Amino acid sequence: MRAQLGHYALLAALLAILGVLMLYPILITVSSAFAPVPIKNAAGTLHNSYFYWLKSVLLNPTFTGKLLNSLLLGLVVTALCNLIALPLALLSNRYDFHGKRVLSAILLVPMVLPPFVGAIGMKQLLGKFGSLTMLLQHLGVLAPADGINWLRQGGFWACAILIALGLYPIAYLNIQAALANIDPAMLEAAENLGGRRFTNFRRITLPLMIISYEVCFLRTKEKFDWGYFAPFLATLLIIPLTMFLTKSVDFIGMKKTLEESPGIASWQYLGTQLRVIVTYLRLLFIPVNQNLDYDYPLAKSLLELPVLISFIFLASLLTIAVKIFSKYRLLSFGIFWFFLTLLPESSVIPIKDVIFEHRLYLPMAGFSVFLASLPYYLFGNKSAKPVVIALLIITSGYALLTYARNPVWKDELTLWNDAAQKSPKKARPYNNRGNAYKNQGNIQMAFSDFDKALAIDPDEADIYYNRGITYKEQGNIQQAISDFTRAIAINPRYTDAYYNRGTIYKDQGNIQQAFSDYTMAVEINPNDAQAHNNRGAIYGKQGNARQAFSDFNKALAIDPGYGEAYYNRGLVYFNQGSLSPAIADYTKTIEINPGFAEAYNNRGVAYFMAKKYDQAWLDVQKAEELGYAVNPGFIDTLKKVSGKDR
């Protein structure tokens, strides 16, 4: 009787947590969707409509389009996952060949990689100037200036394929397990009766596989075989080698970044990291007092007491992991995973920021394995109740702490305000909070924070740049130029500072200085589309059409959706008398930005010059609708020549 009461109490606690954390939010959301809204009927009297919000959503093409896209994406991804996984599972289950175990292990790599790591890898491989594009340029398939953004240009199908490449291992494992549970005698009997392979697959394999798709489990082996893990370790080299061979990543620039890290000796960084790792462990077990931007003190000596205590603690933890490996493998695995995944940042190679909480994303997987398996090993097979209670307490505690931390992440201002309060002697939180104030329109507080940041670190170029942007937006041009100039003096390769200072010079009519700044910007960063466009506009006004076209073409190669570059190139074509390409560029500008009134006006003029008066009238009317003041003299001339009055 007492045991039954305990079970009922545990069930009640689980249902209560389920109700509070899941069912209650769902109930609030659903009830809000059917909240009464007073509206007038045909007779003009008010009545409550309980389906107002639902009808608003279903009648809104934006929402319905997104809903249909989501459903279609789910169906396509499911189909693609099965199309990828089915032949691979059949190959693995029905055939023996050299390298089979290696292939099976490699196929599961997408499931092992965290989603954000896979996303970064895909971006480096398929981005506009990613490894695939660089490889095609190296082979001569693409011109050096041509870049293809495979992800953006692929649209829906690129998204579906990327998701399928990340999820197909789940389908592969289920299909493979389902095939393993099909009795081979049934297939042999079918072959003896004359059934063909595809017929056997369609009538026997596929139905049985569908039945067992969701109910089977992979078999486990008692013997530990390191051969399965070798392919996973080998795949770690794929992305770095691809980037190195195709030169899609500037490794020399990365090396310079490391060399420019503030004078932290390797031994000093190592000593600091010993304490940092202990801090990481504390954050995992007791996630309180988190900070987005720590002001972490550097170790002064490897022999100072906090460093020695941290070293002894971590060495003991690793020793325990080795000792318990044969008996408690999950616990050991979690500990080893934690340390191995921290190695890239927590080693002897100095990095400017010695601690960041986001570096725990990958090590946290090992901690989760450790924490989930610990109650099981502690209580053994005595009863499931203590394990469930322990996990319930842990989960509830973390849920409450997460809820308490959420208000800090409300917006960028609350986030950086928290960081500034916890790191009052560090410049970056004040700098970023100043940006947050600027974005919210609180200019006075923004300047106050920029000044505080500069008082702490007067040699930080980003602070001068951000204050310069704020001065520029406020119309204080001289102060903006002064701050941009100071940022450039600190960092002579500050592309954005050159670009913004050049824009101010251009607006002031100081074309020579503007041209100089834009040129510096594109020399430092050849992929700066805005600098190419603005320099091209200067070339165009100077009558240097060849150089103008060169800059516009480079800008559009970098960003094919850059409407202003099409517009400026259209101006140069028009000034040359090339009406057809000018009209084409204006049309492309309008496709990208349908509210660009001046593009309609200029295309109307080009149509007029080409004697296409009907199209000219349409563009003139559209420009006026968008608020553009069309030249009255041009309208009078168009009336006379076309014989029409609009």
Tokens of 49: 């409509």
Q: Fill in the amino acid letter for 34.
A: F
Q: Give yes or no for residue 219 having a pLDDT over 50.
A: no
Average pLDDT, the chain: 80
Quote the pLDDT of residue 343.
Answer: 81
Residue 301 phi/psi, 5-degree rounding, is -160, 150
What number is the average pLDDT over the span 149-169? Answer: 76
Unique residue bearing structure tokens 């509206």? 39
Quote the pLDDT of residue 159.
Answer: 80
Give the Cα separation of 587 and 567 in Å (integer).
Answer: 9
Q: State the number of CA atoms in the 13 A half-sphere of 442 facing the CB.
A: 12
What number is the average pLDDT over the span 474-500? Answer: 95
Strand partners, 48: 38
DSSP 103-115: HHHHHTHHHHS-H
Tokens of 617: 């009238």
Quote the pLDDT of residue 584.
Answer: 93
Strand partners, 82: none
* Total H helices, total E strands in the chain: 34, 2
- Cα 365 to chain centroid, rounded: 20
Q: Give yes or no for residue 204 having a pLDDT over 50.
A: no
Unique residue bearing structure tokens 């790792």? 277
Quote the pLDDT of residue 46.
Answer: 66
Quote the pLDDT of residue 375.
Answer: 78
Residue 39 phi/psi, 5-degree rounding, is -135, 160
- By three-state DSSP, how is residue 49 classified? strand
**Of the candidates 162, 107, 115, which has an alpha carbon nearest to the alpha carbon of residue 365?**
115
Q: Give yes or no for residue 295 having a pLDDT over 90.
A: yes
Element at 124 (helix H, strand E):
helix 115-126
Is 214 or 584 the better-scoring residue by pLDDT? 584
Least confident interval from 396-405, 506-515, 550-559, 566-575: 396-405
Q: Fill in the amino acid letter for 276.
A: V
Residues 6+ apart with CB under 8 A from 501: 480, 481, 484, 485, 488, 517
| Strongest mean pLDDT among 55-59, 198-202, 469-473 | 469-473
Is 243 or 281 the better-scoring residue by pLDDT? 281
Find the length of the chain.
646
Angle at 117 between CA 115 and CA 123, to 5 degrees: 100
Is 159 or 120 the better-scoring residue by pLDDT? 159
pLDDT over 70 percentage in the chain = 77
Summarised one tens digit per residue, pLDDT across range 81-118 is 888 888 888 777 766 766 677 777 777 777 766 666 66
Least confident interval from 36-45, 50-59, 611-620: 36-45
Q: Give yes or no for residue 444 having a pLDDT over 70.
A: yes
Is 184 or 213 the better-scoring residue by pLDDT? 184
**Of the candidates 531, 553, 559, 552, which has an alpha carbon nearest to the alpha carbon of residue 129?**
559
Is 2 or 29 the better-scoring residue by pLDDT? 29
Give the Cα separation of 532 and 554 in Å (integer).
Answer: 7
Quote the pLDDT of residue 221.
Answer: 46
Q: Fill in the amino acid letter for 189.
A: A
Element at 373 (helix H, strand E):
helix 363-379
Least confident interval from 48-62, 209-223, 556-570, 593-607: 209-223
Is residue 110 a contact partner of residue 118, using CB atoms and an 8 Å limit?
A: yes
Q: Give yes or no for residue 580 having a pLDDT over 80.
A: yes
What number is the average pLDDT over the span 322-345? Answer: 84
Q: Give yes or no for residue 205 having a pLDDT over 50.
A: no
Quote the pLDDT of residue 564.
Answer: 94
Tokens of 579: 């009406």
Quote the pLDDT of residue 154.
Answer: 64
Quote the pLDDT of residue 244.
Answer: 59
Quote the pLDDT of residue 42.
Answer: 61
Is 128 or 360 the better-scoring residue by pLDDT? 360
Quote the pLDDT of residue 178.
Answer: 67
What number is the average pLDDT over the span 295-310? Answer: 92
Give the Cα separation of 289 and 423 in Å (integer).
Answer: 12
Residues 6+ apart with CB under 8 A from 277: 310, 314, 339, 342, 346
Q: Give yes or no for residue 596 having a pLDDT over 70.
A: yes
Unique residue bearing structure tokens 């563009």? 619
b/e 429-450 (16+ beta carbons within 10 angstroms → b): bbbbbbbbbbeeeeeebbbebb
Unique residue bearing structure tokens 């939010």? 25
What number is the average pLDDT over the span 298-320? Answer: 92
Unique residue bearing structure tokens 């989760």? 368
C-alpha distances out from residue 185 to 91, 192, 215, 584, Å: 19, 10, 21, 68
Quote the pLDDT of residue 113.
Answer: 67
Q: Give yes or no for residue 215 having a pLDDT over 50.
A: no
Quote the pLDDT of residue 351.
Answer: 84
Record the pTM.
0.63
Q: Fill in the amino acid letter for 424.
A: P
Quote the pLDDT of residue 579.
Answer: 92
Quote the pLDDT of residue 210.
Answer: 46
**Of the candidates 76, 38, 29, 28, which has an alpha carbon nearest to the alpha carbon of residue 57?**
29
DSSP 129-190: TSHHHHHHHHTTSS-TT----HHHHHHHHHHHHHHHHHHHHHHHHHHHHHHHTS-HHHHHHH
Give the Cα separation of 603 and 606 in Å (integer).
Answer: 5
C-alpha distances out from residue 396 to 409, 464, 517, 538, 614, Å: 20, 45, 57, 62, 70
b/e 544-567 (16+ beta carbons within 10 angstroms → b): ebeebbbbbebbbbbbbebbbbbb
Tokens of 70: 């989501």
Give the Cα separation of 536 and 545 in Å (integer).
Answer: 9
Quote the pLDDT of residue 385.
Answer: 73
Question: Sorting pLDDT into bands at 50, 70 and 90, what band is 556?
Answer: very high
Summarised one tens digit per residue, pLDDT across range 390-407 is 778 888 888 888 888 999
Taking the CA atoms of the chain, what radius of gyration do you get in angstroms?
Answer: 32
Give the Cα separation of 342 and 363 in Å (integer).
Answer: 7
Quote the pLDDT of residue 280.
Answer: 95
Provide the greatest CA pair distance for the chain: 102
**Of the candidates 507, 505, 533, 528, which has an alpha carbon nearest to the alpha carbon of residue 517?**
505
What number is the average pLDDT over the span 117-139? Answer: 72
Summarised one tens digit per residue, pLDDT across range 496-522 is 999 999 999 999 999 999 999 999 999
Give the Cα separation of 617 and 613 in Å (integer).
Answer: 6
Is 519 or 123 the better-scoring residue by pLDDT? 519
What number is the average pLDDT over the span 13-31? Answer: 74
Least confident interval from 64-73, 143-152, 562-571: 143-152
First and final C-alpha spacing in the chain: 92
Q: Residue 293: is it exposed, middle or buried by C-beta count within 10 angstroms (0-12/13-18/19+)?
A: buried
Quote the pLDDT of residue 61.
Answer: 75
b/e 319-340 (16+ beta carbons within 10 angstroms → b): eebeeeeeebeebbbbbebbbe
Quote the pLDDT of residue 381.
Answer: 61
- By three-state DSSP, how is residue 36 classified? coil
Q: Give yes or no for residue 412 having a pLDDT over 90.
A: yes
